[in-house]
Amino acid sequence: MKKAAVEKAAQEKAAQEKTLHDQEEAAKKKAAEEAKKKADEDAAAAAAKKHADEEAAKKKKDQEEAEAKKKAEEEAAAKKLAQEEEAKKHATHSEVQIKPDPKFLDGEQAKQDTVQHHQQAAEEAHEIEPEHDIKVGSHLAKPEELLGFPLFPEGTKSLLKKHLTKEVWDALKNTKDKHGFTFKQAIFSGCKNTDSGIGVYAGSHDSYTAFDALFSKIIEQYHGHKKEDVHHSDMDYTKLNCPPFTEKEAKRIKSTRIRVGRNLKDYPLGPGLSKEQRKEIESKVVTALSSFSGELAGKYYSLSSLSETERKQLIDDHFLFKEGDRFLEACGLNREWPDARGIFHNNEKSFLVWVNEEDQLRIISMQQGPDIGAVFTRLSKACAHIETVASFAHDKHLGYITSCPTNLGTALRASVHIHLPNLGQSKAEFQAIADQYHVQIRGAHREHTETNDHVYDISNTRRLGRSEVDLVQDMYNGVKAMIQKEFEIKPKKEKPQVAAPVEESNKEEIPHQEVKIEEKKEEKPAEQLKQIEHKAQSDKVDHKEAPHDHEVQKHESLVVGSHLKQATDLVSFPTFPAGTKSLLSKYLTPEIWAKLHDDKDKHGYTFKQAIFSGCQNTDSGIGVYAGSHDSYTVFADLFDKIIEKYHGHQKGAKHVSDMDYSKLQCPPFQENEAAFIKSTRIRVGRNLADYPLGPGLTKEQRKEVEQKVVAAVNSFEGELAGKYYALTSLTEEERKQLIEDHFLFKEGDRFLEACGLNREWPDARGIFHNNEKSFLVWVNEEDQLRIISMQQGADIGAVFTRLSKACTHIETVAKFAHDEHLGYITSCPTNLGTALRASVHIHLPKLGALKEEFQAIADKFHVQIRGIHGEHTETDDHVYDISNKRRLGFSEVSLIQDMYNGVKAMIEKELTL
């Protein structure tokens, strides 16, 4: 027994030793495998690095060889040209056209050198010095005299002068559009007439493409219409909402007139037409006009064959137009005058077409009295009929194509002559209403005229980016508001006035009751620049708008302000104090109030709640908040206008979201570039699809939102893993640490308080951050999720990748509120679309001192410059916060690309200074 026990113990010991041995061997084997794996990985990495270094060296060598080859070719070509120049010294002027031997030239270099050679030879043949800057002005006789970069006299204010840089000149000076209209022809009017407001004309539809480097800048400056923007045309008169004025209102309106300019798509524009093409156009248009029936039926009068009786009658009717002014003369529009020009009018003399004036068709509808709908209907039907014979030039970006860029889009001017003796004496109130409805006030006797009889010409100010229906609606709404205000004002005693002397016009004036002579944009540079400034101002949220003083019949009003305590205090139409600039005060009309004041969205959030913050806080920039996704539908009459004004995003426009970080083109900055960037931060706002937005949440719903979000963030792994801190249960140590990390958010300000976002504070609010403190989520702040990715340094790609992955993961637990029109849904309309802000803190001591150049780069890349301590702050250390400006209508990827490109350009500029 004892022996057996000993043997058993020995066997057990041997088994244990074997097990230990096996474990040791396994561990050694695993260690060896891991060492081998690491060695293999190191070898692979070394091989990859070696390969990359070899590729880089090869690429560098190839580049150096290519540059050396190119330099040798240039030297050979230059030597050859020098030899030819020496030979030409002994040649006569008629023998200077010597061509370089093509064997010395290659590809684009050959083409460029050949062009330079011919240009130089031509200069010598005419005894002209090689290209140099030239002073422009009235001494110029033809476009060919623009032999060097144009230098404009001091005080020139044209957009041509502003945007024609040497780079643009060098790129375009020898170009022409597909119809042969040259760049020099396009700019000649503005070079000869340096008092132009714009200074350029297009010779064809293709001019806007061929000369895009200049024209697109002018168009964006004048119209606020960017290269990627779309123009929607709409001449459907059935969409116009202009019920008849009351009898009392109608008496104020003397006459109504609406015109459009159009050109035929199969031909160049007026400045680029040949004599034969102009005749073909006349023939086609006359065919269309002669087929009119009913109220449009009438007669065409050719200017080249008018009888004396017809001429006198057209003058009496104020229908006759004369040869174009010096601006049109310089661009080529007066050639072969008056050949192939003419006038059509209907039998009732309420419809008129000028043929081959500034544009190929100037189509005009007019009549006595206030029936705006009838005037637009007549115009719309006429345009549709003409297009059955000849289609108009049009594209999705620029709308209807015109020779002068100021008329692009609609080429529409809708106007009335209106008698406003009381409002006419209150200029500030008058102008405020005009600004609110995007209309312009003029004297009734042409632009820039004053009026002693208080009869004013009221017309739309916008052309491009809004449909014809929209612009006529603007005019109708503005006129309606002006008449209502006129009735509110008590008459003032006027001082006796002496009649102003009548100035003789250079045109046969057409009075408004028939047709007012069309304004020439180029003839009134002062007015154009005024409109440019007006447009620039109108794109800002704080644009001066009308103090909503409506006390309309059947609508009592309530003066709003900080004395209001709750939304139910809004018992009648809100009247805003003078100086209020919010978009709420701009767009909340008595009609919208009457329609919506008792409405609520499907979650019970009321219209009065939606507007209360802006009514209590009259210094708001916007003034409204949505209580749910459905608020944007139920309160669309107000919200749509605010969204379009703030974002330029129209009712039918779509928003495409894209958080795919792989599409971002942001290679690492070079070491000397990266040194300028201190930190990078990107955030988005998101709300859950199954719940109201913050202002409309119940206490229970807010807790449910918190639970869902916490479940998502607690399931993060890897670099996103971290901890959630509920504000209601923070320890003092946690609170201090969050403050030190600058992660803690406070209760919302008075604007958020007023819309209901601070209710039950701080219940169901909290903060999540990852362990590395490079990722953060605020829960139930202004939006239900404020998701933030950030880190020190310049790696924009890494910051966006982290953010994108986090958003995707959260949506596996709870979907975000989103639709195709507004993108991601947020409580404040300003954040709709992406709710994204991508920014860096960057040190730019040299560029920061050059504010105009700094701002020019920012504008080019759609980014904003701020001091690093928040909006409106200045900086003494030249460290700036650079972020995207746009939100809605552009994807997340495109906005971050904007920021990257802008920062890259700023650094490159800094390094050159």
Q: How far apart are CA 647 and CA 819, in angstroms?
A: 16
Q: What is the DSSP letter of 126?
A: T
d(CA 766, CA 743) in angstroms, rounded, equals 10
- The CA angle 340-341-342, to the nearest 5 degrees, is 125
Cα of 370 vs its chain's centroid, Å: 34
Report which residue type is found at 856. A
Count other C-beta atoms under 10 Å from residue 312's C-beta: 12
Distances (CA, A) of 502 to 228, 312, 417, 778, 850: 46, 22, 19, 69, 49
Question: For residue 538, how far is the Cα from the chain centroid?
Answer: 12
Concatenate the DSSP letters of all residues of 460-477 into one string: E---SSS-HHHHHHHHHH
Count the Cβ atoms, other than its own, within 10 Å of residue 761.
15
Please report, for residues 319, 463, 591, 637, the alpha-carbon distance to residue 596 in angstroms, rounded to integers and kept in the order given.
47, 30, 9, 8
Tell me: cis bond preceding 590? Omega within 30 of 0 counts: no
- 560 within 8 A of 618, measured Cβ to Cβ: yes
Residues 87, 98 contacting (CB under 8 angstroms): yes
554 contacts 612 by C-beta, under 8 angstroms: no
Helices 892-912 and 851-860: angle between axes, nearest 10 degrees: 150
Instruction: Determine the longest span between alpha carbons in the chain, in angstroms.
Output: 149
Could you give the residue numbers annotated as active site? 259, 358, 362, 404, 406, 413, 442, 447
Is residue 860 a contact partner of residue 905, using CB atoms and an 8 Å limit? yes
Binding residues for ATP, as ranges, are 255-259, 318, 362, 413-417, 442-447, 679-683, 742, 786, 837-841, 866-871
- Of 127, 122, 174, the C-alpha closest to 148 is 174
* Length of the chain counted residue by residue: 913
Q: Phi then psi for 288, rounded to 5 degrees?
A: -65, -45
Task: Show the tokens assigned to 867.
Answer: 């001091």
The owner of tokens 């309606």 is 480
Instruction: Identify the three-state secondary structure at position 111.
Output: helix
The answer to whether 403 touches 334, Cβ cutoff 8 Å, is no
- Check residue 368 and give left, alpha or beta (phi > 0: left; psi -120 to 50: alpha): beta
DSSP 134: E
Helix (H) or strand (E) holding 99: none
Q: What phi and psi, each to the nearest 5 degrees, are found at residue 120?
A: -65, -40
The span from the CA of 257 to the CA of 569, in Å, is 44
Strand partners, 364: 259, 352
Q: Are 614 and 624 in contact (CB under 8 A)?
A: yes
